[in-house]
Amino acid sequence: MSTLRSVFDLPSKQQKAAALDEQSAAPDFWNDSRAAQAVMRDLSRLKDEIAKWATIQARISDALELAALEDDSLYGELEAETNALAEVVNKLSFEAMMSGAYDNEDVILSIHAGAGGTESQDWAAMLLRMFVRWAEMRKMKVEVIDQMEGEEAGIKSVTLSVRGPYAYGYLQSERGVHRLVRISPFDANKRRHTSFALVEVVPDVQDDIDIQIDERDIEIDYYRSSGAGGQHVQKNETAVRIVHKPTGMVVTCQNERSQLQNRERALQVLKARLFDLERRKKEEEFAQLKGDHVAVNFGSQIRSYVLHPYQMVKDHRTDYETGNTGAVLDGALDEFMEAYLRAKVGSAPAAN
């Protein structure tokens, strides 16, 4: 048990939680509300991790006490609890490997339909449902920042905020192009179609980064929201579009109630994307100095979802695959994410 405690580095987490607790008790703590909210978010996550460990520790102690009784009638109960604990410990051991600087951060996730009109827009909507279902199963909070509906069906694009433990650690595996092969429900001749959608994933770390944006480098437009929000949103130009001229990045936000709130959130998303761009450039330069090959290509095809003539989802980076396409499209992504992350840290890919 002491080895397990050292793997999760519980003492340092307890010390950090105590320090944040003390910080939050300061009289002027809420003078800077944004900084205070960031501290409270970190404190909440730490307390959740500590509580999770305390629960496991208690269950292990109870199981050891049962085993010490050497009562054959308790064998079934003990075996079931041992297997359950093994699953929990394996999961936490895996999370302990996510030691990247931003692995425990929230995420800004965007989906963009590829060429192909309605077919690709429907595929983008399927991916949106898949990621929302995955987040819901992990009890993460999902908020739509901006969404552009398709002309006939589906969506042209959507940007989400996903908040929860290790959101970026897991979802970083989804960055890239997702490919769908199926009989099109929009084709009267029932022909097979191939559709593409791009998924972008960046850590939502605006509270921890220092990115200065020159007002001369951005172009801001205001327009009427096309999404939900009631008459107030529809009648006023509350939606915001920001173009960052040096990079060509375009960020839109229409989820908030006011123009000011949408502008602030759009700038936060832009800063996060610029920060991620610089971070990835530095990683690529460092890898080149080391002699490693790193392909930083947002257009790379990472995964194929084949619904016809056979059923298969295959990740082209790890070769992990499954025939249970329905479960995957309903949010069962953990095996793909873990195979990618284990490969990333140099461990063996997850078994099929």
Predicted confidence (pLDDT) at residue 45 exceeds the cutoff of 80: no
Q: Read out DSSP for 120-159?
A: HHHHHHHHHHHHHHHHHHTT-EEEEEEEEE-SSSSEEEEE
- Average pLDDT value over all residues in the chain: 84
Do residues 64 and 177 both lie within one domain?
A: no
**What CATH number corresponds to the domain at position 237?**
3.30.160.20
Predicted confidence (pLDDT) at residue 15 exceeds the cutoff of 80: yes
Structural domain ending residue among the three candidates 263, 290, 317: 290
**What CATH number corresponds to the domain at position 127?**
3.30.70.1660
130 within 8 A of 333, measured Cβ to Cβ: yes
Instruction: Answer with the residue of higher pLDDT: 275 or 298.
Output: 275
Residue 190 belongs to some domain of the structure? yes
265 within 8 A of 256, measured Cβ to Cβ: yes
Q: Where are the beta strands (DSSP E) in 273-322?
A: 301-306, 312-315, 321-322
Tokens, residue 245: 């001229």
Structural domain ending residue among the three candidates 96, 121, 145: 96
Do residues 174 and 136 both lie within one domain?
A: yes
Do residues 254 and 300 both lie within one domain?
A: no
At 98 the pLDDT is 75
Name the percent of the chain lying above pLDDT 90.
46
Do residues 174 and 111 both lie within one domain?
A: yes
Residue 33 belongs to some domain of the structure? yes
In this structure, the chain runs to a length of 352
The tens digit of pLDDT for each residue in 154-182 reads 999 999 999 998 899 999 999 999 999 99
Do residues 322 and 260 both lie within one domain?
A: no
| Least confident segment among 104-108, 135-139, 188-192, 245-249 | 188-192
C-alpha distances in angstroms, 203 versus 11, 16, 229, 266, 349? 27, 22, 27, 15, 24
Do residues 299 and 162 both lie within one domain?
A: yes
Tokens, residue 141: 């909070």
Max mean pLDDT among 30-34, 206-210, 284-288, 307-311 falls in: 307-311
At 34 the pLDDT is 74
Name the amino acid, one letter, at 183.
I
Question: Within 10 Å of residue 267's Cβ, how many Cβ atoms?
Answer: 19
Predicted confidence (pLDDT) at residue 228 exceeds the cutoff of 50: no
The number of domains in the chain is 3
The tens digit of pLDDT for each residue in 53-105 reads 888 888 888 888 888 888 888 888 888 888 888 888 777 776 766 767 788 88
Alpha-carbon distance 54 to 122, whole Å?
A: 45
At 89 the pLDDT is 77
**What CATH number corresponds to the domain at position 26?**
1.20.58.410
What is the extent of the structural domain holding 172?
107-200+295-344
Residue 274 belongs to some domain of the structure? yes
Do residues 135 and 184 both lie within one domain?
A: yes
Alpha-carbon distance 97 to 90, whole Å?
A: 11
Do residues 89 and 6 both lie within one domain?
A: yes
Residue 208 belongs to some domain of the structure? no
Do residues 273 and 304 both lie within one domain?
A: no
Do residues 111 and 193 both lie within one domain?
A: yes
3-class secondary structure, 44: helix
Structural domain ending residue among the three candidates 32, 66, 96: 96
At 290 the pLDDT is 47
Residue 350 belongs to some domain of the structure? no
Tokens, residue 289: 């100095």
Position 231 confidence tier, pLDDT thresholds 50, 70, 90:
very low
Q: Kind and range of the H or E element at 341?
A: helix 334-344
Q: Kind and range of the H or E element at 89?
A: helix 75-96
Residue 159 belongs to some domain of the structure? yes
| Least confident segment among 72-86, 92-106, 243-257, 331-345 | 92-106
| Least confident segment among 16-20, 80-84, 229-233, 343-347 | 229-233
Do residues 272 and 300 both lie within one domain?
A: no
Question: Within 10 Å of residue 78's Cβ, how many Cβ atoms?
Answer: 16
Position 227 confidence tier, pLDDT thresholds 50, 70, 90:
low
At 140 the pLDDT is 95
Q: Where are the beta strands (DSSP E) in the chain?
A: 107-113, 141-149, 155-163, 176-183, 192-203, 218-223, 239-244, 249-253, 301-306, 312-315, 321-322
Question: How far is CA 113 from its chain centroid?
Answer: 19
Identify any residues that bridge with 196 across adjacent strands, giving them in sequence order.
Answer: 179
Mean pLDDT across 313-321: 95
Do residues 282 and 299 both lie within one domain?
A: no
At 136 the pLDDT is 96
The tens digit of pLDDT for each residue in 97-150 reads 676 778 888 999 999 999 878 999 999 999 999 999 999 999 999 999 999 999
Residue 160 belongs to some domain of the structure? yes
Residue 225 belongs to some domain of the structure? yes
Tokens, residue 17: 């939680």
Question: How far is CA 40 from its chain centroid?
Answer: 20
The tens digit of pLDDT for each residue in 96-112 reads 667 677 888 899 999 99
